[in-house]
Chain A
C-alpha cells in the first residue's frame, strides 16, 4: 500500500512518496520513483498498482508536453493540469478505470498565482484543492499531524520538516515497512529531488 504525502508552502509544494514496488509477499523493487514531472513547474505523485501508476503518469505527462509543443510553448497552469488529469480519470472511470490516487503539486509564476498549489485526486476522479494531503493508509497517521502543524506562509524548510515528521510517524506506527522515501520540491526553480532513500537510477 503506497504512501503519498504533499504539503503546500509559500513558494511551492513538497511531494513525498515511498519507493517500494511490491505485490503480495514479494518486493520487486525498493527504489521506485512515484513522482513524475509533468511540466517545468509541476509534478504528479501517484499511488496504486504499478501498471496503472506508470501508465497513467506517463500518459498525463506526455499529453501535457504535447499541449506545450502544439501551442507554441504555452504552459498550462496547475489548475488546468489538475482539471485535465481529472477529466482523463473521469472518462476512464466508466470504461477501464485507472486505480490510482494522486497528488498534483505545481507552482504558478506571479503573473498567474505566485504560489504553490496542491490538488488531491482520488481514483474516482474527485478533485479538491488542498493545503496538504495524503493518499493511502498514510492519511490515517499523517493528516492529524499536518492539521496541527500546517499554517499559512510556511517556508520550504518548515514544509520539509512537516513531511519528515509524517515519515517518522509512519516508521514508528505503520505496520508495513517502508524503508525508502523520495522527497521532491516544486517551486519557481522547477521540479527537483531533495532527498531519496534509494537512488531511482533508470526506472
Chain B
C-alpha cells in the first residue's frame, strides 16, 4: 500500500455562481482499521479553505505550518491572504521538500479579493493546476472525477452546489474502503461560510 493511502481521505472542491464549495470525508484509518470518524481534512483560512488529503501526520503538520505562515503574513502585510497567494505559499512549502516531501495532495478553494471563485489543486511536490470547475484529491479520485464530470454544471447557486458536492462525494466514498465514515461540506459566499455535516454511511 502506498504511503499516500495509509490513512485514507476524499476531498472535492467545486465552483458555483459567486461561491465555492469544498467537501471532505471524516475517516482516520490505519490501513484497514478505522481509528476515528471525526478527523476533518479541510481547514479554514479567512475566505479560503485548504483541503489536505494524504498522510494524516503531514496533514496536521502542514495545517500548523500554514496557520503559522498565514498569521505571520497578516501581521506583516496587515491584510488577509487571498486564495491565490495561499495556494502559491503551499506550493512553495511543498517544493522546499522536493527530495523528502510531505505526503499530502492539497486543494485550495476560496473567494479572491473581488469575490471571484478560485480553485487549485497540487501534487505532493507542489505542482499546481488551476481550474474553473472542480478539483479532487484523496484515495477515491477515480470515483470522484467520474461523479464530478457527470454532475457538475456551471454557475450553480449555493443550495444546488451544496447538493451536487454532497452527492458527488457520498457516491464516491461509498465505493472506497479507505474513505467515508462521515462527511463535512463548506460553501463560501461573499456573505460568509455555510458548513454542514452530511449523514453518511458509517462503513
B28 CB within 8 Å of chain A? yes
**Structural contact, A120 and B36, CB atoms closer than 8 A:** yes
**Structural contact, A94 and B35, CB atoms closer than 8 A:** no
A128 CB within 8 Å of chain B? yes
Q: Residue on B with the closest CB to A101?
A: B30
* Pairs A-B, 9 closest by C-beta atoms: A126-B56, A125-B57, A128-B36, A124-B57, A126-B57, A90-B61, A128-B28, A128-B39, A130-B36
Q: Interface of B with A (CB < 8 Å)?
A: 6-7, 28, 30, 33, 35-36, 39, 55-57, 59-61, 64, 100
From A94, A120, A127, A129, give the contact of B60 (CB < 8 A). Answer: A127
Min C-beta distance of B8 to chain A, whole Å: 11
- Chain A residues with CB under 8 Å of B36's CB are 120, 128-130
Q: Residue on B with the closest CB to A89?
A: B57
Known: A87-B64, A124-B55, A128-B39. 6 other contacts (CB 8 A): A90-B60, A94-B100, A124-B56, A124-B57, A125-B61, A143-B33
> From residue 130 to 158 of chain A, which have CB atoms closer than 8 A to chain B?
130, 133, 139-140, 143
- Chain B residues with CB under 8 Å of A120's CB are 35-36
| CA of A93 to CA of B60, assembled, Å | 13
Please indicate which of the listed interface residues B33, B35, B100 has the most CB atoms of chain A within 10 Å of its own CB.
B35
Q: Interface of A with B (CB < 8 Å)?
A: 86-87, 89-90, 93-94, 120, 122, 124-130, 133, 139-140, 143
- Interface of B: prevailing SS: mixed
| CA of A120 to CA of B28, assembled, Å | 11
Q: Residue on A with the closest CB to B28?
A: A128
**Structural contact, A126 and B33, CB atoms closer than 8 A:** no
- Chain B residues with CB under 8 Å of A133's CB are 35
Q: Residue on A with the closest CB to B97?
A: A94
- Chain B residues with CB under 8 Å of A86's CB are 57, 60
- Chain B residues with CB under 8 Å of A122's CB are 30, 57
- Chain B residues with CB under 8 Å of A143's CB are 33
Question: What are 21 A-B interface contacts by the 8 Å CB criterion?
Answer: A86-B57, A87-B64, A89-B57, A90-B57, A94-B100, A122-B30, A122-B57, A124-B6, A125-B61, A126-B28, A126-B55, A126-B59, A127-B60, A128-B28, A128-B36, A128-B39, A128-B56, A129-B36, A130-B36, A133-B35, A139-B33
| CA of A46 to CA of B101, assembled, Å | 28
| CA of A23 to CA of B178, assembled, Å | 33
**Structural contact, A126 and B100, CB atoms closer than 8 A:** no
**Contact A130 B35, CB 8 Å, known A94-B100, A122-B30:** yes
Q: Residue on A with the closest CB to B55?
A: A124
Min C-beta distance of A128 to chain B, whole Å: 4
| CA of A133 to CA of B28, assembled, Å | 13
Please indicate which of the listed interface residues B6, B61, B100 has the most CB atoms of chain A within 10 Å of its own CB.
B61
Q: Residue on B with the closest CB to A140?
A: B33
